[in-house]
Structure 1
Amino acid sequence: MIWEIDDHAPEIEGLDKNGRPDPAYAASLGLIMAGRGARVGAALLEWAVAVVIALPAIIAFTPVLAEIVSGGFDPEAFFARSDLVWLIVAAAVSQGLMIAYTVVQLVLHGRKGVTLGKAVCGIRSVNVRTLERPGFWRGAVVRYLVAGASFLIPVIGPVLVIALSPLFDIERRGRGWLDLAAATWFVDVRHGLNPYDPKRMRIARKRVKTPEHEEKAPLPSLATPVDRDAPAEYVPSARLSGGVIGAHRGGTPTPAAPQAEGAVAGAVVSSVPPSLATGAAPPAASAPSFAPPAAAPRPAPDPVPAPTPAPTPAAPAASFAPPAAVSPPAFAPPPVLRPAAAAPAAVPAPASAPTPAAATPAAQTAAAAPAGTRAVLILDSGERIEVRGTTLFGRAPAAAAGEGEAQLVRVADDTRSVSKTHLAVMPARRGVFAVDRASTNGSAIIRDGIETALVAGHPAELRIGDTVRFGDRLLTVEWV
């Protein structure tokens, strides 16, 4: 058995195949190299502060240094000076402040990647491999030791190591010999990403690391459209163990749908036996819709006068069957009589029954709407919505706090013109009202060809035949 031991070595992102830092990776994160002018300004500011700290010692010991250089320095006269104590105090204070200033600069540079001058000029120092803090020993101490060693060669050393070495960087990232020794890199946080902002760095790394997924074409629906030539576009309304129940969205609703109930009622009335009606046989044109299509209709028999009904307290009620006039005798089942509680006075003749065409669309809709429905709305997809209480329309509608329970209607919108909670339809005592829920693209009522925009939060009364536009979607008021 082979055991694999995880050494918990951190995975460093942004390295090429040779293990060197890739400048293109840092650029893709949004890191920008600090400009040469900003770096020079930061260095000059730090040196100016150091000179101010050392100013008391400089003022006190400048005459002494002049005497030493000229060769007229007398040690006995120097130690016999009355202000010798003040000279020593000025030198000690300046030296102490200089040591404290240097230590603070080292700690800030190693732990936070910033010094006094870099903070003012918007510069941060990072480790060139990990793009994190440079570290105290290598990023700060080694850097300052190399910078101090360059002063062993007066003028030429500092100019070459500090000022001119960044010009010879083959990667063109402004890294000089000090940066190569400390493995550091200076970035501009004013115009680019701040590497010490963990949240923004995490988002930038994830964006670069995660590849973009190619958008795939949607899979075809497994449901069958109602219309043979309609596209298979469905909105799933429920899920069962056997599959998905969908509502067809293709095409427009057929106008013959409201008349289906009237056709069924006419078929039931026309199936009344002649003996229980007026005594006349029904004509062949009133044959029920469920008759076999292959059977040819027979000619209607001669009318037989209806017998006088006996004054009995109860009469049997027949369970109606198709008459012999519309089906062959071999397939016509005999009528089965069942006792009923009370006999009707008279069954109305087929001629007196109201035809479906005579009923108005409003009456049909009112008869089809269940009890408690205040309004019936039809979306442009053909979906019918029965309004019993507050109904919210949108891509992902949600009731507001204190609004109570509401009927939520999700509206599919690929163009995202419909807000999450776009429109509310609310019943009241005086009618049904529409309220725009401060949507992005607004809502409007189209009445008699005139479109009136809805003011957000202000209810507008709805009437039969109105069309409400919310975003790019439409709904029609069928019944109120």
Structure 2
Amino acid sequence: MAVNLQLVPAAAGKRLGAAVIDWLPGVAVLVVTFAIGFAGITRTRSGGFIVYDTSSLVLFGGIGLGLTLAYLFVVLGLEARTGKTPGNLAMGIRSADQDGYAPGAGAVFLRGLITGAGILLALPAAVLVAVFKWFDAALFILGPLLVVGAAWAVLVVVSNRWDKNGGLRGWNDTAAKTLVFDVKAGRDPITTGGIQGPYSFAPLDLPPVQQVLSPVAQANTPQAPAAQSVARFQAPQASAPHAPAPSATMPSQTMPYTSPASFAPPATPAQDAPAGHRVPPQHVDDDVERTQVRPGTGGPAQVAVLRIRLDDGRDFQLDRSVLVGRNPVGQAGEQHAQLLAVDDPGRSISKTHLHLLTDGAGIWVTDRQSTNGSAVTTPDGLRTPLVPGVPTFVTPGSSVHFGDRTFYLGQA
């Protein structure tokens, strides 16, 4: 991987260093707030019973939990969109999905859930301590659980050391289908093209995507430039009575290479041509007065109507410009685009995920820098990821995958 793709899996030590940096703020807040809360618990006797006043524990413990959750959500969102966390930045590593794009919220949450599973077991125990007022034994109950949870978290983070595939994935990476790369020793796939390059590093046999020129909405198809040179032939009618009357001007044309013998007419020597005059060669169409109309084609050509069918069965006819997403919004110059909102309870689709531009025989599909990426499967079953921001031409009969959803392109 490092030789061919300039991609270096992050070592276990760097993973652990990044995790410790990410955990420290949350752990510090919890330790301080719960310490203050426990210190503020008062005990009084009333009617032969011991009464504990836990208002300080509830207050400061709630503040600590709230601040920690807010911090975790910020870090989760940052990593989901960019592969960065404070620890990743400090250690020079990045997390990504198996195609090299940002990992996404679902994958990051699953990785964190597996890593912190041991710590989460201490939460029910803390609730039991508070409910049954086992404060005297709280340290003996919660202490071992926290130690076991911390040991489990460290073990998961460094578990890539036992990965036989070059230390590529830890246990949490395998479950969430993520990868972690050392961007100081190698390149950062998220910012240098993901699966595009130099070539796929994903554990899938995928072909490279061929980039195309970006079409401009509502722009006319470029026409061939006017011919720069014109061959003029003039032959006196009296001097060449048998030669066909040539066209006054003959613009130069560019044609695909074909063997001259396959289409050139047989050479016919010019008769009665005066010396010093050049007679143009005959063309196979010179003796035809007009183009023959093929039977059954007298009417104008029918323009195919492009339609897409979503995986939930809904069918739509496409306008010239279409935006697809959870709640698509047009950019500058796209106020009149057709907006196609797609339900996505799992939030795998970005707000504005795709831009479609109809172009006669197919559509240009552009991924609008989505979080979870897009791909196209051609009628022959070949699946190709889309490069964010690069339009790709898609023909009818193909399927376009965006997030966890898919639509099929057809003609009416």
Q: Mark the structure with the bigger radius of gyration.
A: 1
TM-score (norm 2): 0.37
Higher relative contact order (CA 8 A, sep 6+): 2
TM-score (norm 1): 0.32
